[in-house]
Amino acid sequence: MKIEYLPHTADIRMRIQGNGLEDLFRAGVLGMGNILKEGICDQEHIFDRKAEIEIVAADPTCLLIDFLSEVLSHSYTEKSVFCKVKFLGLSSVKGVAEIYGKKVDGFDEEIKAVTYHEAEVHNSGIGGLQTMVVFDI
């Protein structure tokens, strides 16, 4: 798993890589969590929040973006940052998962949305998958 933050004029551009689809989704959740609260997903936690997500989409790219959008919505309604994902099922068009997070007093960054802009899940060339994710800040 690899997460890189790249410049964007107004927003945040993140490149994620994973060994497979599950790993890529986990990288997305971790990368987003660390934007919401710097470094929070790099620490050991006893998670006190859990939510269930079920997403159906046309392709892996839409599935990833919709999945991250759903995690983001739960972050705001639960005032929590979600770092851990347990997949109950994941194909290229459907994802069912439990997400685990930690309640926070506030966020370091307010992400308005996870956008589809520049997102394209594709082979990384080193045996895994990668995509760009642009967040509207």
Partner 1 sequence: MKIRKGDIHKIEDYLWEIPKSFRPKMRVPARVLASEPLLDDIMEDRSLVQLVNVASLPGIQGASLVMPDVHEGYGFPIGGVAATLYPDGAISPGGIGYDINCGVRLLTSNQKITDIRHRLEELSKEMYAQIPSGMGKGGQIRLSPQEMEDVLRTGAEWAVEKGYGKKDDLAFMESRGRLGNADPSLISEMAKKRGTDQLGTIGSGNHFVEVDYVEEIYDTTAAKAFGLSKGQVVVLIHTGSRGLGHQVATDYIRRIMAAMPHYGIEVPDRELACVPFNSEEGQNYFKAMCAAANYAWCNREVISWEARTAWKNIFGSDQSLKLMYDIAHNIAKVETHRVHGEEVGTIVHRKGATRAFGPGFEELPEVYRSVGQPVIIPGSMGTCSYVLVGTTKSQELTFGSCCHGAGRRLSRTAAKKQVNAPVLKEQLKEEGIFVEAGSFKGIAEEAPIAYKDVNMVVETVAISGIAKKVAKLRPVAVIKG
Cβ closest to partner 1, residue 44 vs residue 105? 105
Task: Kindly list the distances between the CA atom of residue 6 and the CA atoms of 3, 15, 57, 82, 122, in Å, as whole numbers in the listed order.
Answer: 10, 7, 27, 22, 18
What DSSP designation does 92 have? S
> How many residues can be counted in the chain?
137
Cβ closest to partner 1, residue 23 vs residue 98? 98
Q: Give the β-pairing of 12-18 and 113-115.
A: unpaired
Cβ closest to partner 1, residue 54 vs residue 118? 118
Q: Give the interface with partner 1 as residue ranges (CB under 8 A).
A: 5, 7-12, 58, 62, 66, 69, 73, 76-77, 79, 104, 106-110, 112-119, 134, 136-137
Cβ closest to partner 1, residue 21 vs residue 35? 35
Work out how close the CB of 43 gets to partner 1 at its nearest, in angstroms, rounded to a whole number. Answer: 19
CA neighbor of 98 nearest in space, from 88, 108, 90: 88
**Helices and strands of the chain, counted as H and E runs:** 2, 8
Work out how close the CB of 97 gets to partner 1 at its nearest, in angstroms, rounded to a whole number. Answer: 17
Work out how close the CB of 50 gets to partner 1 at its nearest, in angstroms, rounded to a whole number. Answer: 17
